[in-house]
Amino acid sequence: MAVTTISRSKCFGGTQGVYSHESAETHCTMRFGLFLPPAAATRRVPLLYWLSGLTCTEENFITKAGAQRVAAELGVAIAAPDTSPRGVDVPGDRDSYDFGVGAGYYVDATEPPWSRAYRMYSYITEELPRVLATSFPVDAANAGIFGHSMGGHGALVIALRNPGRYRSVSAFAPISSAARSPWGENALTKYLGSDRNAWRQYDATALIAERGWPGPPLLVDQGSDDSFLHEQLKPELLEEACTRAGVPLRLRMRDGYDHSYYFIATFVEDHLRFHAANVSA
Amino acid sequence: MAVTTISRSKCFGGTQGVYSHESAETHCTMRFGLFLPPAAATRRVPLLYWLSGLTCTEENFITKAGAQRVAAELGVAIAAPDTSPRGVDVPGDRDSYDFGVGAGYYVDATEPPWSRAYRMYSYITEELPRVLATSFPVDAANAGIFGHSMGGHGALVIALRNPGRYRSVSAFAPISSAARSPWGENALTKYLGSDRNAWRQYDATALIAERGWPGPPLLVDQGSDDSFLHEQLKPELLEEACTRAGVPLRLRMRDGYDHSYYFIATFVEDHLRFHAANVSA
């Protein structure tokens, strides 16, 4: 459970770090970013998990989203893990941007050769919280989760399956239904096999139908000029599932915004205040 | 003077673009970032120039500084040019991170082979303002300038030599005296030759002594944990020059901050409000 410091910089009075550790789940060295607000100097602070999208590492969110200013003010920590195992060298893991390295989809793969290391679901829900709670002044039981695109899918799936452990969930331009997205269909077939019943535990809309959600409304922002909107993201599927299940959803279409971090930076303050109101309650 | 759009994203209600054009000064295609605030939809807005540091391109500031939020609120545009010519392939231009590509030092080189394309001083002060005023709703006569490290040096030098054209200047961790910094000595020797008299027009402290500064105080933030502080940046030289010349300087040592964009992001709002108060006056 030893954590190595890769870098650490003062930022808005707190500390933005990048750390690594040996992961038993993914059988490799995993990196994560962690922002600790000034309040963490004197007490354990609530913890938000940010899950990134395809091709991202632990760096994208911490350098581009501009979240530290508001997290410092609100007194919440933000953990930003990597999006897949690194360096395990499974044949084919770098053939495309949307599968393998940088594209773990936050699942526990069951199909060889992926099943050994591609265990991002257990990594995010079990191992990383233990690492964080052991090494940093964070209150891992007082957590929210959010993410972008593939990471928005991950945040929704992880919260919906573990409602007792995440008090709030939000997403930017999430893959609403991995089973009904070309990206997701390709990845779930390879990670989980072709039996679509096995995919349901990693499909946000199926989970909403089966389990509901006892927490505050699901908060989702989606840009209207996002080039992946109609083919991959399909927020209408999320809306339909929530309506049927009676799960409150605050879905906000943002006119003219695209899929980039400029979109995330614009609205991240809203998401942080939403989570802080729930995790600190 | 034709400008090509590389990318354009909505951001805080405005537009963050990256554009390119053929430069007569640098004999190559130059890129720059430009943020236009929402106010630019209806009128020409004041313009701030951001000059980046060693190794940077037009991307670093626009993705990492988090300046768009405040610029949108204040109604100011921010132009973020590249730091050197690109693709002119002068032998030796990629041998080190602190000279050549990514390291133009905002000078007009006089020594061959650099003198043909390494004309970043004229590019920033003459050509880029014309390009911007021609193609975008900015008021190029109502400008401020700021930058980081090598770009802090560039901002100070350019403002001090052109007080009528820049109403305010600020810097993050600038090279205070290029002639008394190992980075600067190496670069100025190669770009300008070994006669140190020729360096004075590119040394902020020499310019302060010779010309003073009629504008508002020079605003400088410097992190105390900056690894380049004592060998390269030397804010005490700037302080000494300002004291002798009677030029007001607001030099703020920031305890525990380093040289990174996490430092810049923390204090960029202060700089933007300082410039906006002067350019809009």
A149 counts as catalytic: yes
Interface pTM (ipTM) of the complex?
0.96
B77-124 pLDDT per residue, tens: 999 999 999 999 999 999 999 999 999 999 999 999 999 999 999 999
Give mean pLDDT, residues B239-266: 98
**Closest residue to A258, CB basis, from B9, B258, B260:** B9
Query: What is the per-residue pLDDT for A196?
Result: 98
Strand partners, B139: B46
Both ends of chain B: CA-CA distance in Å? 30
Assign B253 a pLDDT band (cuts: 50, 70, 90): very high
**A13 vs B266: CB contact, 8 Å cut-off?**
yes
**Closest residue to A9, CB basis, from B9, B12, B260:** B260
Q: Which residues on B lie below 8 Å from A69 (Cβ)? A: 66, 265-266
Full 3-state SS string of B43-85: CCEEEEEEECCCCCCCHHHHHHCCCHHHHHHHCCEEEEECCCC
* Four-CA torsion B115, B120, B126, B131, nearest 10 degrees: 120
Alpha helices in chain B (DSSP H): 59-64, 68-74, 120-122, 128-135, 150-161, 182-192, 204-211, 235-245, 261-279
Strand partners, B168: B144
What distance in Å separates the CA atoms of residue B164 and residue A258, rounded to the nearest whole number?
39
Displacement of CA A195 from its chain's centroid (Å): 25
The ranges of chain A with pLDDT < 50 are none
Q: Which residues contact B56 (CB under 8 A, 6 or more apart)?
A: B82, B83, B102, B151
Whether A227 has its CB under 8 Å from any CB of chain B: the answer is no
Give mean pLDDT, residues B262-281: 94
The dihedral built from the CA positions of residue B228, B232, B234 and B238, taken in this order, carries a sign that is negative
Query: What is the per-residue pLDDT for A140?
Result: 85
Query: What is the per-residue pLDDT for A235?
Result: 98
Tokens of A73: 């003010």
Model confidence, pTM:
0.97
Tokens of A43: 């007490």
Q: 3-class DSSP state for residue B156?
A: helix
Assign B281 a pLDDT band (cuts: 50, 70, 90): low
Other beta carbons within 10 angstroms of residue B125's beta carbon come to 20
**B258 vs A16: CB contact, 8 Å cut-off?**
no
Q: Which of B116, B7, B97, B21 is nearest to B59 (CA)?
A: B7
Q: Which residues on B lie below 8 Å from A16 (Cβ)? A: 262
Task: Find, in chain A, the residue whose alpha carbon is nearest to that of B260.
Answer: A9
Give mean pLDDT, residues B65-72: 98
A255 counts as catalytic: no
Best residue in A172, A259, A262, A269 for a mutation probing chain B (most B CBs within 10 Å):
A262
- Percent of chain B scoring above 90 in pLDDT: 98
- In angstroms, the separation between the Cα of residue B27 and the nearest Cα of chain A is 31
Q: Which of B62, B73, B6 is nearest to B38 (CA)?
A: B73
Cis status of the peptide bond prior to A113, with omega within 30 of 0: yes
Query: What is the per-residue pLDDT for A1?
Result: 66
Q: Which residues on B lie below 8 Å from A63 (Cβ)? A: 63-64, 261
Q: Which residues on A lie below 8 Å from B224 (Cβ)? A: none
Strand partners, A171: A147, A220
Q: Which residues on A lie below 8 Å from B223 (Cβ)? A: 10
**Closest residue to A260, CB basis, from B9, B12, B69:** B9
B174-208 pLDDT per residue, tens: 999 999 999 999 999 999 999 999 999 999 999 99
Best residue in A6, A9, A15, A73 for a mutation probing chain B (most B CBs within 10 Å):
A9
Q: Which of A142, A143, A216, A203 is nearest to A174 (CA)?
A: A203
Tokens of A6: 């890769």
Whether A61 has its CB under 8 Å from any CB of chain B: the answer is no
Contact yes or no for A261/A64 (Cβ under 8 A): yes
Whether A170 has its CB under 8 Å from any CB of chain B: the answer is no
In the set A149, A168, A176, A181, the catalytic residue is: A149
A34-52 pLDDT per residue, tens: 999 999 999 999 999 999 9
B149 counts as catalytic: yes
